[in-house]
A and B are shown apart, each in its own frame.
Chain A
Amino acid sequence: GQQLNQSPQSMFIQEGEDVSMNCTSSSIFNTWLWYKQDPGEGPVLLIALYKAGELTSNGRLTAQFGITRKDSFLNISASIPSDVGIYFCAGPAYSGAGSYQLTFGKGTKLSVIP
């Protein structure tokens, strides 16, 4: 099936630094979603993107829907300790018989050093 490749797999940054991560696919997506999972909790939807080229912000988070529709980027500005967690990208992939299934990347694990 279709796969989403996230990079980097993990990153350690100093508090206050900006963070950038991305997600790529070999196929075109019509929607890109970004989730954050805190340790021991379920993922929470951060940002949803529905249009190529779209740039959407949620506080210190900014996500972009790539023009090619095969990638998306998530940036976090001025990181703080509570940004720690795993960030997942997701998008609806065609699963046959006219239906779509949400496909998830393997995540980027973010650690913030105070």
Chain B
Amino acid sequence: DGGITQSPKYLFRKEGQNVTLSCEQNLNHDAMYWYRQDPGQGLRLIYYSQIVNDFQKGDIAEGYSVSREKKESFPLTVTSAQKNPTAFYLCASSIGQGQPQHFGDGTRLSIL
């Protein structure tokens, strides 16, 4: 089945540590996205990529970094500079910008 796979489902980070969240898609989509969702909140865009080797900051990029070396993969690194990283992180992909996005099942990040 085609889809988006996020891993791990749950992740714990120690203070001062960088962690990387994985996102892989086999839908052959050009565009990929990372969102952050806090309890009772909507989706806030962290980074997006329209094509391989290119990505743009979203509304809340500070403390995060991404790479897009392959079409299928768009990993997100939560750096130690992100002071409030506890949240639910969602990855999505679409055929192109402005098109319906398909989401993974999310990664819940917590601080130890």
Looking at the complex, which one of B6, B42, B105 makes contact with A104 (CB distance below 8 Å)?
A: B42
Query: What is the distance, in angstroms, from B89's C-beta to the closest C-beta of chain A?
Result: 10
Task: List the A side residues contacting B103 at CB < 8 Å.
Answer: 35, 42-44
Query: What is the distance, in angstroms, from B93's C-beta to the closest C-beta of chain A?
Result: 11
Looking at the complex, which one of A40, A48, A99, A105 makes contact with B100 (CB distance below 8 Å)?
A: A48
Whether the Cβ atoms of B42 and A88 lie closer than 8 Å is yes
Task: List the A side residues contacting B48 at CB < 8 Å.
Answer: 101
- Does B85 lie at the interface of the complex (its beta carbon under 8 Å from any beta carbon of A)? no
A45 to B100, CA, bound (A): 8
- Does B43 lie at the interface of the complex (its beta carbon under 8 Å from any beta carbon of A)? yes
Query: What is the distance, in angstroms, from A60's C-beta to the closest C-beta of chain B?
Result: 21
Task: List the B side residues contacting A104 at CB < 8 Å.
Answer: 42-43
Cβ-closest chain B residue relative to A42: B103
Check A40/B102 contact, CB under 8 A, given A102-B94, A106-B41: no
A88 to B103, CA, bound (A): 13
Query: What is the distance, in angstroms, from A19's C-beta to the closest C-beta of chain B?
Result: 19
Interface size on A, residues (CB 8 A): 22
Interface size on B, residues (CB 8 A): 23
Cβ-closest chain A residue relative to B59: A1
Cβ-closest chain A residue relative to B37: A37
Whether the Cβ atoms of B42 and A41 lie closer than 8 Å is no
Task: List the A side residues contacting B92 at CB < 8 Å.
Answer: 42
Whether the Cβ atoms of B105 and A99 lie closer than 8 Å is no
Q: 1/0 per position for A11-26, CB-CB distance to B under 8 A?
A: 0000000000000000
Seen from chain B, the residues whose Cβ lies within 8 Å of a Cβ on chain A are 4, 6, 40-43, 45, 48, 50, 90, 92, 94, 97-106, 108
Known pairs A101-B45, A102-B97 / 7 extra A-B pairs, C-beta < 8 Å: A41-B105, A43-B43, A45-B100, A45-B102, A48-B100, A104-B43, A105-B42
Q: List 15 A-B contacts (CB under 8 A).
A: A31-B98, A42-B92, A42-B105, A44-B103, A92-B99, A99-B50, A99-B97, A99-B98, A100-B97, A101-B48, A104-B42, A104-B43, A105-B42, A106-B41, A109-B40
